[in-house]
Chain A
Amino acid sequence: MRLVRRFGPVALAAGLLFTCSDSFAASAEKGKVAYTQHGCWQCHGTEGQGAVSGPKLAPDPMPIETFTTFVRTSNRAMPPYPEAVLSNDELADIHAYLQTIRKPADYKSIPLLNQ
């Protein structure tokens, strides 16, 4: 029940975010700043690599629709980020930043991980 109650307005907000995308160009540079300012890095690492405190976000971040829905409605360890705390523009910027993070080398090419 709680999820249904929460998903309604969020889906609407997410829809608005994407329909307005023509007039808003997400900025990876701003996203990196927002990623730090809003504490994402504290649990997910500065490169979105993940940790015991939060799952991997990058490379290959989830689609922005899923990403937005989760950030707004999380009922898991991460508290939901309402728009009053994290604006739609900042959310899109953060997603843009995560998209710029490159894939790591295969662990098989890292000698320390093959001892």
Chain B
Amino acid sequence: MRRKHPHLAVSRRKFLAGVAVASGATAVPPAKAATSASTNAPARMPSALPPTAHVAAAETGTPSELSTSRIGGTPGSDFMVDVIKTLDIKYVPSNCASSYRGIHESVINYGRNQMPEFLTCTHEESGVGMAHGYFKAAGKPLMTLCHGTVGLQHASMAVYNAWCDRVPVVIVGGNDLDAAHRPPGVPTFHSAQDINALVRDFTKWDDTPVSLQHFAQSFVRAFKIAMTPPCGPVAISLDAGLQQEPIRNNGERLSIPRYVPTSPPQGDSGAVKEAAQLLANAQNPVIVADRVARSENGVRLLVQLAELLQAQVIDQGGRMNFPKTHYLSRPPTVVSNADVILGLELADFWATVNAWTDNGEHGIGVNSTRIKPDTKLISINSSELLTKANYQDFQRFQPVDVAMAADAEATLPALIEAVKTAIPADRKSAIDKRGEAARKAYAEQRERTKQAAALAWDASPVSTARLVMETWAQIKDLDWSLVASSGNVSNWPNRLWPMEKHYHWLGPSGGYGVCYGAPASVGAALANRDLGRFSVSIQSDGDLMYAPGVLWTAARHKIPLLAVMHNNRGYHQEVMHVQRMSNFRNRVASLGNDIGPIGTRIENPDIEYHKLAESMGWWAKGPIKDPAQLGPAIKEAVAVVKSGQPALINVWTQPR
């Protein structure tokens, strides 16, 4: 961008009037300068005396001739803040950087650091991860500022998680395009010709605005695209010159486009009717849900459909789709007896109805089916509208009988009505009997689950079932939200906790990129803080060690979160890969001085996560190895979190 236009200042009053007339935006007036130069400062006193406040201000303040604006007008980034403020973005969790210094300054000074409020992060991955978790708790997106090439590279794994998890995040990256004028050295290392190319394969849309009006259009467009199901991250590259230059008076009146949400895509009426016929006439329909419920309404609709059909529901847990206390809630194995399967927003339909076992000849996995050969498959999945070529998040291709490229939650009302019409009168008795059988199966399953949880109940290291239930005992009377469960605790929370509300469980990372748990927990806890909910996370050791600085961000910004550590002191997913390779090759896996294959353990020395957390301002306790000590420790931690602070309990646990 052109950088030098010292004489192209525009009247701020005229500029703001233009914005107001065009959009009705509520711009916040700029904060007054904290200090300003005095025009009649006294002569300097002898240096032996300390300066008065007045003198100090005169010596260190901005000279009067420059106090209005050294750049000769209103900074372009002030207008950017006006645009951002129209979209109700509450926070901007970011790691500070030179490439976006213009908008940084505008956010905290011109925008008074409100809507959005700048939250200090120590890693770009944490900023995006926080935005990811925040959206799933609040239903509203955040933006994050990201520094040039290296900042976006840091952020990229978290962007991929958000992409796979269909979560909107607005990534605004600084970049200095003008090769003739940008600073040499580091800023040039951190600039790129097409910086968004780094994340283009896993963002819904991106742009590099070349004017302020272009920015206004692109930012509102990006927000709109991100928020339209299937949701996803978007990226806007902000040229440093565009941020820093004054608004140019080129005769164009700047305006901010109005944001109107786009309604989500619904299934075609013919396809909905065909699906309803199949479901209504099925002997044993099964509903499988992954990322269906964006809200409490999504849960309610799914319950309505399931009860109408008395169909068993497998909640794959991408979101809290279906109450775990409902008698139709069933484990994944029930697909084997289905004659019709309705898949709703499944990340992987193939793996829902097929199995892949990593134990074939020559190291090649073996495929097998989980379902009967004549089972009819119905899919409602908005991800079909958002398939790109490079990254393989679309999973294996699964042919189905009825496919709707549509948002499941938005399609459920029409499907429910169509099913009501399609159920033959003579089927109603059979459907009721299905419900009775489901109640019995549910009760038996609960018995088996609890008996399994009792195994190794008093073991040390602490069993994952004990970890989960000791936590539950301390939060059950609160309006709780399990914001993340990193690592693998054998899915005990979803098997044992009475999850009923959509925020009782926010789902996993999406792309399984490790380092989601800690930042997403903090981001979700931020949203829950504002909504009056109590946030708890199961925090694994491996996940925390990628970017533990997010703990400091939580303490710094007083974000209450109870993190109960599943510290199994290893990368257990990888342990079995090495063991498998060793067995296939007739070799004994080398353990070195550890108790798992070399390279898979996080021990010797053991990491004292409680001390790590304490050093960053958390209340913390541990390591707890005796299960009898766990309940009292969590009780203490809950009291701390209720007071508004984050707390961490470091627990030595069983592997899974």
Please report A residues at the B interface, Cβ cutoff 8 Å: 2, 36-39, 41-43, 45-47, 49-53, 56, 74-82, 84-85, 104-107, 110, 112-115
The answer to whether A46 and B456 have CB atoms under 8 Å apart is: yes
User: Please, which residues of chain A bring their CB within 8 A of the CB of B582?
Assistant: 85
Q: How far is the CA of A26 from the CA of B589 in the complex (A)?
A: 23
- Known A45-B459, A79-B579; judge A51-B654 contact (CB<8 A): yes
Of B313-321, B381-389, B445-453, the stretch lying at the interface with chain A is B445-453
A37 cross-chain contacts in B, Cβ below 8 A: 591, 595
Let me know if B509 is at the binding interface, CB within 8 A.
no
In the complex, are the beta carbons of A2 and B361 less than 8 A apart?
yes
Roughly how many angstroms separate A105 CA and B627 CA in the complex, as a whole number? Answer: 15
Known contacts: A2-B361, A84-B586, A85-B586. The answer to whether A56 contacts B656 by CB under 8 A is: no
Q: When each residue 468-484 of chain B gets 1 if its CB lies under 8 Å from chain A and 0 otherwise, what string results?
A: 01101100100000000
**Complexed CA–CA distance, A47 and B654 (Å):** 10
Complex: A56 Cα to B451 Cα, angstroms: 12
CB of A51 within 8 A of CB of B464, answer yes
Docked complex Cα distance between A37 and B592 (Å) = 11
A75 neighbours in B (Cβ, 8 Å): 357, 359, 366
The answer, yes or no, to whether B189 is at the interface (CB within 8 Å) is no
Shortest Cβ gap from A77 to chain B (Å): 6
- With A53-B572, A56-B452, A79-B580 as contacts: A42 and B596 at CB distance below 8 Å: yes
Assess whether B655 is in contact with A41, with CB atoms less than 8 Å apart: yes
Is B304 an interface residue, CB under 8 A from the partner? no
Identify which of B450, B464, B654 contacts A113 (C-beta below 8 A): B450
Which of A41, A50, A78 interacts with B452 by CB under 8 Å?
Answer: A50
Q: Does B285 contact A (CB under 8 A)?
A: no
Residue among B452, B454, B456, B654 making CB contact with A110, cutoff 8 Å: B454
Contact partner of A39 among B450, B457, B463, B575, CB < 8 A? B575
Partner of B656, one of A39, A52, A81, A106: A52
The contact sample of 11 A-B pairs, CB cut-off 8 A, is A38-B589, A39-B575, A42-B655, A45-B656, A46-B654, A77-B358, A105-B454, A107-B451, A112-B473, A113-B469, A115-B476
Contact check, B575 vs A42: say whether CB atoms are below 8 A apart: yes
CB neighbours (8 Å) of A50 from chain B are: 452, 455
Docked complex Cα distance between A41 and B362 (Å):
26
Indicate whether B122 reaches chain A with its CB closer than 8 angstroms.
no
Question: Given A76-B359, A85-B588, A107-B451: A46 and B461 within 8 A (CB)?
Answer: yes
Tell me if B359 and A79 are in contact (CB < 8 A). yes
Q: Nearest chain-B residue to A82 (Cβ)?
A: B586
Residues of B within 8 A of A77 (CB): 357-359
What are the residues of chain A within 8 A of B470 when measuring CB–CB? 112
Since A52-B491, A78-B359, A110-B457 are in contact, a sample of 15 more A-B pairs with Cβ atoms closer than 8 Å, ordered by chain A residue number, is A41-B655, A43-B656, A45-B656, A50-B452, A77-B359, A82-B583, A84-B586, A84-B588, A85-B583, A85-B588, A104-B457, A107-B453, A107-B454, A113-B454, A115-B472
